[in-house]
Structure 1
Amino acid sequence: MGSVNSTLTTRVPKLAVVLAVAALGLSALPSNAAEPAQPSDAGLAPAFQDAAAKYDVPREVLVGVGFAETHLDGHNGAPSQANGYGVMQLASNNVNKTMSEASKLTGLPVAKLSKDDRSNILGAAAVLDAYADQAGLTGAARKDPGKWYSVVAKYSHSADGPTARLYTDEVFRIIGTGVQAAGVTTAPRAVKADLGAYAKVAPLGTRSASSVQAVDYPGAIWNAASTSNYRAGRTAAITTIVIHVTQGSYAGTISWFKDPAAQVSAHYVVRSSDGQVTQMVAEKDTAWHVRTENPYTIGIEHEGYVDQPSWFTDAMYRSSAALTRNIADRRGIPKDRAHIKGHSEMPNNDHTDPGPNWNWDYYMQLVNGGSPNPPQYNFTTWGSGVNVRSAPKLSASVVTSLAGPTQVYVECQVQGDTVTAGGYTNNWWAKLRDQNGYMTNIYIDDPNTKLPGVPDC
């Protein structure tokens, strides 16, 4: 579904480049490394601190909401699929008016709330504060993140109670694991969530006999899209599986497909953190995801953003590949790139997803029953002015490109020890284990340029 475009840049001269080691708990860079260049979102840590203090919102709650929504990336003010903006996804649609609420509460114009990360965070804190006042949170309760469960659920403006629980449970999972991303750190914190009225709401993922019968894929959870967002039946035989990226969160996408005003849907949605699959449209019906090409296709949405590879976890790849393999085998669809395509590859479509960060080689190996290791390198980038490659050699494919100024801030992780980073735990967001504990090399477009002071892989 994505619309964010990553255009490749041409050759770039030598750049000032900095590695993010603190985010993974690694040793500091050696003394002969480049001087640290501040990432474009360097102001996020004080922004969260200031907003939390001003509006008396627990900082862990504020960061948890932001990380669940965007991994703390404002995407330069580009809107999500539900017309949400910024790090905190202040939204403006028929059911979610947090953007206008934030503007009224802070006095800041919508243009600034959508484009400026610090203002966006401040606006979200103001909205959460207002919701907390409405919920009667005062005194010591204000300091207890567990008491904010119903407030966070309201902030989601989800289509129904189970979807609100899905959203809020993810925020509280993040609070529990802690966050290390975009210069923002929260320590893992055990929080007992006060579910309030949501204690009586069964979370999505609770399988009933009817939901098990409804799904086409046995591993999926059934949660129907609004009947206003797809057409019953088919006018053509199913021949193609289409890979999308949601440009939004898992819970937010599910909620959007349940909103009659959305006029869009997909058959399946896959979660980043653990690969959970929700089916929203029966395969026999026509989801609205690729315009004129809907009649013969099955659409699979993947949580995240095309310009942000941190969403594309191994759990997501493996879960989605298993789903695609199952669909293809059941329907006699060849498991090749002529029949498994990205949204951007479909006729009469102008979207860019799944984008340059989607690893098609790895994905297709999984679809065809292979058991490859996850890609050796995975990058998260801030800043601009560089083509970042997928291995320390110039012949490697470009992972992502950022146009503009001449500084870039890069995290590089390789498969190895299981670690927790960026709020998630798995074995390929892992540190290098060289003799000094430093990060790997990353090569950029100038073939003579290598990061100074950083050991080889």
Structure 2
Amino acid sequence: MSRPIPRTAAAAAAVALLTGLATPAHADTTSQRQRDFTAAASEFGVPENILLGVSYLESRWDANAGTPSTSAGYGPMHLTDLRAAGVATSHHDEGTEDPRGDDARPARLPQAGPAAPPPALQTVDEAAQLLHTDAETLRTDPAQNIRGGAALLAKYHTDGDWYHAVARYSGSADQAAAQTFADEVFETVKAGTARTTDDGQQVTLAATPDLVIPQHADANPANVECPRRVTCESVPAPYQELPGNDYGNHDLANRPESQKIDHIVIHDTEGYWASVLQLAQDPTYVSWHYTIRSNDGLIAQHVPTKDVAWHAGNWYVNAKSIGIEHEGFAAKGTWYTEAMYRSSAKLVGYLARKYGIPLDRAHIIGHDNVPGTVPSTIAGMHWDPGPYWDWSHYFDLLGAPLGGFGLPGSSLVTIDPDFAKNQPAFTGCDSPGTPCTPRGSEAVVLHSEPSETSPLLVDIGLHPKGTASTMDVADVGSRVATGQQYAVAEVRGDWTAIWYLGQKGWFHNPRNARVAKPAFGWVVTPKAGLASVPVYGRAYPEPEAYPAGVTVQAITPLPYPLSAGQKYSSGGVVGSEYYWATTFDVADHVVVKGKLKYVQIQFGHRIAFVKADDVRFLPAF
């Protein structure tokens, strides 16, 4: 895997163009960050557009309040320091969720020890030696961090080959993955970009339209399902018979012929790359379809998309979804690299096109949006990728931007806060009750009344004693997420109420700083004459649909009311379905499809299902 980056003729042409350029012109600005890039580029002899391009692929030029990324990187140049970021805990380290989530089989409750961090995640020391400074300065001072990144690029620069230096900066020992990182940097330099950073800095990278980007042969293995222009490898999960009439760690299937794939589920690993890939190859563990590496966006495929992985804690969702893990942590590290976002968006876009999955937040969901199966499983469901995953930026990369498509006064809204400015006061990122470092978030917190001092909502599934939800980073009981759509229940001045778990949930939505935008679509409400309708965590068939020899699965409602007069956003009508797969022999597997129809709704933070016969549809625009 550790091979030197070749210097192709195309790379040489690109190098010649870059080294012959003066510092690119950029918009006249008083931005200190822009001046810091200019000064560092001049000091270390690095083309400014290259320095800006590398930083953009790492952090989008953000400082992130001095907090570490999910792979222990700090500052605009993502200098890594494991000593400060801390050691990872484990994959699936919180919650009692059974990732398989099938009542017909014993719970599979995997345990994994602390993840050993790779020694390569310590570039801050190399930069500190070059600048004769200390690691803390490089972590906390954006200007010095930029100087450190420029010094590393200058060190990696040999024979006029900036492409090779950028590839080495990725930290990847894999040749193709390092090339993919460098290609993304060069694409960014060629196209140019500009944005306002998380701390209000205006930074511009002027386009270099004549830049030549090296061409490479497609090096991806033939057995991986991946888009072009990203690097993928095959790290197969085992389908293996185990003692005690058990097997692991996924189920063979024939999707989409046997079952339609409706969802893509976004996870984070809660562990570092090498240790997580070991877990994916453990037949006694659970499974997911892909893992994406943080520093360079390398994609590993473990389970063919035709097969069913054990990843979401809900068997109905598992049977109809693809699970993608992202190297990182929902709270301990608080930001994800641009390299990983871009690889992930390319993969999700490819899969969505392949399987006809809508690019919206009803179908591209987080693990935190997957419902509990029955009342007893709600409290243990996982909540990754957490409130610091930037859904708005992610959907921009997917080419499906969120928000702003309805008429003023619409009865439906899309949650869409300004990620950088929206900074809920969460606790528990590092230890229980301890305030998290304030930073941008995709989450909007709901209150029981139109006041910041009013209690949060009650989620009776998460808090069975009826106590209010909390600001703990893992408590999703009174929280909505970017891209999700909700029916408006009431408006009072700058406050908007939506229907949420059978209650009105209020959030501050002032005219000059909207956190929700008008939307159009369909909402559902109980049919006339019904005081309330049951809500479900899965869309299972009626008992009569099951053939002999297949155990009938209970249709068990969740403990929430959906009462007359309430409305919820529709994610579409789905058929009832259950995949009976309880033995190693795939010949015994059966897809049970019923006559019952369900409607997927955005019910709380998580999706849910109601029977189509119980509700009527209303347009919202």
TM-score by length of structure 2 reads 0.40
1:154-194 per-residue CA deviation (whole Å, 9 max, x = no partner) reads 11121311111101011111111112123111221146559
The verdict on how the C-alpha distance between 1:127 and 1:351 changes in structure 2, with shifts beyond 3 A counting, is same
**Corresponding position of 1:299:** 323
Residue 152 (structure 1) aligned to one of 166, 177, 188: 166
Q: Are 1:267 and 2:284 matched, yes or no? A: no
Q: Are 1:163 and 2:182 matched, yes or no? A: no
Report the count of equivalent residues: 322
| 1:355 CA displacement | 5.8
**Corresponding position of 1:95:** 120
The verdict on how the C-alpha distance between 1:268 and 1:399 changes in structure 2, with shifts beyond 3 A counting, is same
1:379-435 per-residue CA deviation (whole Å, 9 max, x = no partner) reads xxxxxxxxxxx997798444232258xxx99xxxxxxxxxxxxxxxxxxxxxxxxxx
Q: Is the 8 A contact 1:86 1:120 kept in 2?
A: yes
Q: Is the 8 A contact 1:356 1:399 kept in 2?
A: no
Q: Distance in 1 between matches of 2:337 and 2:219?
A: 31
Q: Distance in 2 between matches of 1:374 and 1:340?
A: 13
The verdict on how the C-alpha distance between 1:207 and 1:246 changes in structure 2, with shifts beyond 3 A counting, is same
**Corresponding position of 2:402:** 375
The verdict on how the C-alpha distance between 1:321 and 1:84 changes in structure 2, with shifts beyond 3 A counting, is same
Q: Is the 8 A contact 1:263 1:288 kept in 2?
A: no
**Corresponding position of 2:416:** 399
The verdict on how the C-alpha distance between 1:344 and 1:114 changes in structure 2, with shifts beyond 3 A counting, is farther
**Corresponding position of 2:65:** 76
The verdict on how the C-alpha distance between 1:302 and 1:352 changes in structure 2, with shifts beyond 3 A counting, is closer
Question: Which residues of 2 match residues 163-182 of structure 1 at below 5 A?
Answer: 163-182=177-196
Q: Is the 8 A contact 1:215 1:282 kept in 2?
A: no
Structure 1 unaligned blocks of 5 or more: 1-24, 26-35, 142-146, 248-252, 330-334, 367-371, 379-389, 410-441, 452-457
**Corresponding position of 2:205:** 186
Q: Distance in 1 between matches of 2:361 and 2:188?
A: 35
**Corresponding position of 2:131:** 106
| 1:102 CA displacement | 1.1
Q: Is the 8 A contact 2:183 2:213 kept in 1?
A: no
Which one-letter code corresponds to 1:244 in the other structure? Answer: I
| 1:45 CA displacement | 0.7
The verdict on how the C-alpha distance between 1:326 and 1:194 changes in structure 2, with shifts beyond 3 A counting, is closer
Which one-letter code corresponds to 2:289 in the other structure? Answer: H
| 1:281 CA displacement | 1.7
Greater relative CO (CA pairs within 8 A, separation 6+)? 1
Q: Are 1:351 and 2:384 matched, yes or no? A: yes
| 1:307 CA displacement | 7.0
**Corresponding position of 1:224:** 233
| 1:267 CA displacement | 2.6
1:103-123 per-residue CA deviation (whole Å, 9 max, x = no partner) reads 222233222322332221111
Q: Could you say which structure has the larger radius of gyration? A: 2
**Corresponding position of 1:385:** none
Of Structure 1 and Structure 2, which has the larger fraction of its residues in helix? 1
**Corresponding position of 2:351:** 323
Sequence identity percentage:
25
Q: Is the 8 A contact 2:127 2:151 kept in 1?
A: yes
Of Structure 1 and Structure 2, which has the larger fraction of its residues in strand? 2
The verdict on how the C-alpha distance between 1:391 and 1:181 changes in structure 2, with shifts beyond 3 A counting, is farther
Q: Distance in 2 between matches of 1:165 and 1:344?
A: 33
Q: Distance in 2 between matches of 1:221 and 1:177?
A: 18
Which one-letter code corresponds to 1:63 in the other structure? Answer: L
The verdict on how the C-alpha distance between 1:348 and 1:44 changes in structure 2, with shifts beyond 3 A counting, is same
**Corresponding position of 2:301:** 280
Pairwise CA RMSD = 5.7
| 1:353 CA displacement | 3.7
The verdict on how the C-alpha distance between 1:313 and 1:130 changes in structure 2, with shifts beyond 3 A counting, is closer
Q: Is the 8 A contact 1:103 1:123 kept in 2?
A: yes
TM-score by length of structure 1 reads 0.52
Q: Distance in 2 between matches of 1:163 and 1:312?
A: 11
Q: Distance in 1 between matches of 2:182 and 2:342?
A: 23
Q: Distance in 1 between matches of 2:156 and 2:50?
A: 13
Q: Are 1:450 and 2:512 matched, yes or no? A: yes
